[in-house]
């Protein structure tokens, strides 16, 4: 379910956040599905509960999950989240392309870079 790389420079709570967002956006976790409790997840992946709590707090802050008092944490509707996520990624891509253009790259060069990146993902 969740992969943690202890050799990563990324903080463990960020890795948990990233893994959970991946599971939510890929719809592996369904809307309104109950998330494992902080203690359950901490025991499953052998991580301090405070680290899990920090990841869950970030997930809630960015509207990936919601909390029901006394019942736990639940997944928000992935379609809504996904469209916001895609819009954010589109803005980041737009900014990156603008930066490349400001560095003097022609459209064909930018397209070649994008195609190279897409081809790497197919390997």
Q: Cα separation of 49 and 44, whole Å?
A: 11
Q: How far apart are alpha carbons 28 and 26 in whole angstroms?
A: 5
| Lookup: tokens for 40 | 């359950």
pLDDT digits (tens, 9 = 90+) for 74-90: 999 877 777 877 888 89
The CATH number for 12-76, chosen from 1.10.150.20, 3.30.390.50, 1.20.120.330, 1.10.10.10, is 1.10.10.10
Q: What is the pLDDT of residues 52-80, one digit of tens each?
A: 999 999 999 988 999 999 999 999 987 77
Q: Is the pLDDT of residue 45 over 70?
A: yes
Confidence of residue 123 (pLDDT cuts 50, 70, 90): low
> Which residues, at least 6 apart from 59, have a Cβ–Cβ distance to it below 8 Å?
17, 20, 21, 65, 73
Q: Is the whole-model pTM more than 0.75?
A: no
Q: Please state the rounded mean pLDDT for residues 32-52.
A: 94
* Chain position carrying tokens 């392309």: 97
Instruction: Give the confidence band of 36 by pLDDT, cuts at 50, 70, 90.
Output: very high
């Amino acid at each position: 379910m969740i992969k943690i790389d202890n050799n990563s420079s990324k903080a463990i709570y960020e890795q948990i956040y990233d893994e959970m967002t991946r599971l939510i956006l890929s719809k592996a976790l369904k809307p309104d599905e109950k998330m494992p409790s902080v203690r359950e997840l901490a025991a499953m992946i052998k991580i301090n509960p405070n680290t899990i709590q920090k990841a869950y707090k970030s997930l809630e802050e960015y509207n990936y999950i919601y909390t029901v008092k006394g019942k736990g944490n639940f997944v928000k509707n992935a379609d809504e989240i996904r469209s916001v996520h895609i819009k954010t990624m589109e803005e980041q891509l737009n900014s990156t392309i603008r930066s490349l253009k400001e560095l003097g790259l022609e459209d064909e060069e930018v397209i070649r870079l994008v195609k190279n990146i897409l081809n790497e993902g197919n390997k």
